[in-house]
């Protein structure tokens, strides 16, 4: 491995906290100011900036319109919620909603879980139930 990667150029990565920008974080001007400050500090390099979901959506639009050299990332928490919501959407007509309603009575709680709104023990329980059912159909055990 050492001889294969002997000529690889190692690039330095810099992770910094930016100065605080006073303003409403949901305001487009504040988001644009933040993005411009990121590009100014990166000095001709592509910058990766992480946002939560509502601000990420606005930042993506601004980056597209202004063609800034920024890669917007969705924060890990919101990425997980989005992933769980997509699973809930795929499994919509599978009876999963009814299963969750047996565990957590009340239609709003079950819908909230399937939308990815909360991922506490309900998702662990659902994962265990699906895994157990899959193993039974395949004839295996855990």
* pLDDT, mean over the chain: 79
- Residues contacting 12, CB < 8 A, separation 6+: none
Q: Which of 53, 106, 112 is nearest to 88 (CA)?
A: 112
Question: Using an 8 Å Cβ cutoff, are 74 and 51 in contact?
Answer: yes
Q: Work out the percent of the chain whose per-residue pLDDT is above 70.
A: 75
Strand partners, 74: 51
Is residue 84 within a helix (H) or strand (E), and if so which, with residue range? helix 76-90
pLDDT band at 2 (very low <50, low <70, confident <90, very high): low
**Per-residue model confidence (pLDDT) at position 29:** 93
Contacts of 56 (CB under 8 A, 6+ apart): 72, 73, 74, 75, 78
Residues 67-75: what's their mean pLDDT?
A: 90
Q: Are 81 and 116 in contact (CB under 8 A)?
A: yes
Task: Give the H or E element holding residue 6.
Answer: none
Residue spans of the domains in the chain: they are 28-74, 78-138
Reported as a single tens digit per residue, the pLDDT across 79-137 is 888 888 888 888 878 887 887 787 777 668 778 788 877 766 667 777 777 777 667 66
Which of the four pLDDT bands, split at 50, 70 and 90, describes residue 72? very high
What is d(CA 131, CA 112) in angstroms, rounded to the nearest whole number?
A: 22
HSE toward the beta carbon, residue 89, CA cutoff 13 A: 9
């Amino acid at each position: 491995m050492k001889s294969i990667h002997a000529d690889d150029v190692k690039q330095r990565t810099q992770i910094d906290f930016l100065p605080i920008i006073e303003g409403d974080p949901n305001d487009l001007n504040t988001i644009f100011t933040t993005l411009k400050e990121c590009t100014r500090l990166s000095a001709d390099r592509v910058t990766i900036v992480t946002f939560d979901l509502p601000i990420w959506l606005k930042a993506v639009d601004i980056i597209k319109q202004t063609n800034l050299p920024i890669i917007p990332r969705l924060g890990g928490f919101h990425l997980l919620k989005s992933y769980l919501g997509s699973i809930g959407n795929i499994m919509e007509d599978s009876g999963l909603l009814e299963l969750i309603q047996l565990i957590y009575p009340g239609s709003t709680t079950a819908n909230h879980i399937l939308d990815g709104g909360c991922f506490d023990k309900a998702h662990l329980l659902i994962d265990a139930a699906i895994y157990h059912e899959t193993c039974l159909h395949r004839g295996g055990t855990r």
